[in-house]
Structure 1
Amino acid sequence: METAEVFSFIKDFGFPVVLSWFLLVRMENKLANLTDVIGELSCNIAAMRSDVAKK
């Protein structure tokens, strides 16, 4: 394999792979935070329902 072919392969496939990996890593943190917030929201809704049921 010639050097030009290697660089062409890296240009065509390497950059998209690295970019996709980077975006997935960033999104993973945001999804984890979103999961925590949804859990808190669920607890708050349950608490509000019990308060309404008491009245």
Structure 2
Amino acid sequence: MNEISALSYMVQSMENVGFPVVVTLILLIRYEVRMERLEKHSKDLSDIIKELRRDIS
């Protein structure tokens, strides 16, 4: 989907369901992406800690 059609879709969505609903959906999508990144970094950190514990033992 190119930028113009995406913008057109967003404007049409705002007209159909209302601005607050569209803003909420956008924020939820961004929140989900950030949570996935946080989960990945948390797993990486956990793996590093386990590796460091093995090195110490």
TM-score (norm 2): 0.64
In structure 2, give the amino acid aligned to 1:32. E
Q: Which 5+ residue runs of structure 1 have no aligned equivalent?
A: 1-9
Q: Which stretches of structure 1, 4 residues or longer, exceed 3 Å deviation after superposition?
A: none
Ranges in structure 2 where 5+ consecutive residues have no aligned partner: 1-13
RMSD: 1.7
Q: Which has the higher contact order (CA 8 A, sep 6+)?
A: 2
Q: % of aligned pairs identical?
A: 36
